[in-house]
Amino acid sequence: MSEVRYTDQHEWISLDGEIATVGITKYAAEQLGDVVFVELPEAGRKVGTGGEAAVVESVKAASEIYAPIGGEVTEGNPALDADPASVNADPEGAGWFFKMKISDKSEFEKLMTREKYDAFVEGL
């Protein structure tokens, strides 16, 4: 079972060995409304911590998705092209955005645990 951490920008990141999977939280998906398009990074793209990695477009807004930790993108979720609505249906599962090879695992440890993130959302 991989570990999952969260950011104050409402991204989740799960780590399996050195490969991390990134998506947006259920809370973020609900705030955005119906997602109509996701612009994903191409494999091989290097992103720094907090760097812009993807763009999610809903009927209400278009927002940047930031890389929770720095690394190199290995793939974008191919299913989102045909079915961007899976971001709403299963944001923390099938609606993942991209996978990346992370460079520094200690960055991961610094992010919020589920408990902390839930408390953070509670306080919003």
Q: Which of residues 41-100 bind other proteins (CB under 8 A)?
A: 57-62, 64
Between 36 and 121, name the residue whose CB sits nearer to other proteins.
36
The encoded tokens of residue 9 equal 């920008």
Chosen residue from 39, 75, 107, 118 binding other proteins by CB under 8 A: 39
Between 39 and 107, name the residue whose CB sits nearer to other proteins.
39
List strand residue ranges (DSSP E) for the chain, in order: 3-6, 11-16, 19-24, 35-39, 46-47, 52-58, 62-66, 71-76, 98-102
CB of 8 to other proteins, least distance (A): 20
CB of 44 to other proteins, least distance (A): 12
Chosen residue from 37, 50, 89, 113 binding other proteins by CB under 8 A: 37
Between 61 and 79, name the residue whose CB sits nearer to other proteins.
61
User: 72-100 as b/e, with b when 16 or more CB fall inside 10 Å?
Assistant: ebbebbeebeeebebbbeebeeebbbbbb
CB of 2 to other proteins, least distance (A): 32
Q: Are 26 and 105 in contact (CB under 8 A)?
A: no
CA 6 to chain centre: 9
- Contact residues toward other proteins (CB under 8 A) are 37, 39, 57-62, 64
